[in-house]
Amino acid sequence: MQHSKSCATLASLGWEVEDINVSNHSLRRKDYNVQTFKAISHDYINRSLHLAPEAGQYMIRHSQNKFIIKACHVPAYLDLTLGVCASACNKQQYTCGASNLPGHQLLPNGSAKRYIRNCSLYVLGLGNSTDGCGFFTFIDSYSLSMHLNFSECSKKYTVPVVYECVVGNKSCKEGNICGDNSRCINSTTHTGYKCICTGGFQGNPYLRDGCKDIDECKESKRHRCLKNSRCINTEGSYYCLPNRRHMLALIIPLGIGLAVGVLILIGISLWMRRKLEMISDRKKKQRFFKRNGGLLLQQQVSSSLQEPTLFKIEGHR
């Protein structure tokens, strides 16, 4: 995220700018004019506020600014008009609270706002005012806590507001100036586009080499490597390696276990092979024995081995 904190003047518009946020596509203008008016009962006030210059590249950001008015207990109408035309595209009623602080509302957010340049405020009477001066303006949401004392209607007062910035008046497809390692996004608020750095990069996406690699390993919040692991940064990303000692503590037992398992498998394989060879040899001998008259020989041998019969011869003693 890039910021420029020193005050500078935006020459093309004459604005005093105190903060430029490139990654957020916004700038903080310091000198936005506050509209003041005399607090006369039942008066009809018609004043204009500028939401965007005619150049079209800047628009008051609805998410970071609020509309405030000091005209308590009376209705005030805020008309958002199309350019210089008087036809209203959106109309909302704002009233302030009962406290001494001005009432505040978020700016309307919708598709019509991309065409809005000015808005007019109509106050239908100010009621009883103790200081005799009312005011209304847009203001940066973070500045609402500051003491807003615009008691003299003849003086010129300014407040900070945040503008959204876009580039050109074309879409991404029609042409863009986004640099390397960035991508183009069409604006949803008004005509133009924005450039943002892709994941793993940061910097100025509008420069050719403006998006630089983020070293995620330098900040533990940017990577998810475990405590005992080592973070290795790469272009646009990173990867994790286990700690050497931790790795050895894991590899040695694993290697021993694998070696023992392999030896057991080899032993079982050799034993199975020997058993299969013995069975095969036995079957071969049986087939050879039968093929070469082994059964007949076996019968003859078995008959010759029968126990002989002994006869007793008379006359011999």
Q: Which domains does the chain have, with CATH numbers?
A: 3-165 (2.60.40), 169-214 (2.10.25), 216-253 (no CATH)
| Total-model pTM | 0.56
Q: CB-based contacts of 212: which residues, under 8 Å, 6+ apart?
A: 201, 202, 203
- Cβ proximity of 106 and 28 under 8 Å: no
DSSP 8-class letter at 303: H
Give the pLDDT score at 142. Answer: 82
51's tokens: 């939401």
- Cβ proximity of 203 and 225 under 8 Å: no
- Cβ proximity of 190 and 25 under 8 Å: no
Residue 276: phi and psi, rounded to 5, are: -65, -40
What is the sign of the dihedral through the CA atoms of 7, 11, 12 and 16? positive
Find the helix or strand (DSSP H, E) in which 122 lies: strand 116-124
Give the pLDDT score at 33. Answer: 85
DSSP 8-class letter at 167: B
What is the sign of the dihedral through the CA atoms of 171, 172, 173 and 175? positive
Residue whose tokens read 């001494």: 100
* pLDDT one digit per residue (tens) for the chain, 317 residues: 444 444 555 666 788 888 888 778 888 888 888 888 776 555 556 666 666 665 567 877 877 887 777 654 444 555 544 333 222 333 343 333 323 333 344 444 443 344 445 555 555 444 444 456 777 778 888 887 766 777 777 788 888 998 888 887 788 888 888 999 999 998 876 778 889 999 999 988 988 899 999 999 998 888 899 887 889 999 999 999 887 766 667 778 888 889 999 999 999 999 998 888 888 888 887 777 667 666 666 666 666 655 555 556 665 55
Give the pLDDT score at 215. Answer: 94
Give the pLDDT score at 74. Answer: 46
Give the pLDDT score at 116. Answer: 47
Give the pLDDT score at 169. Answer: 78
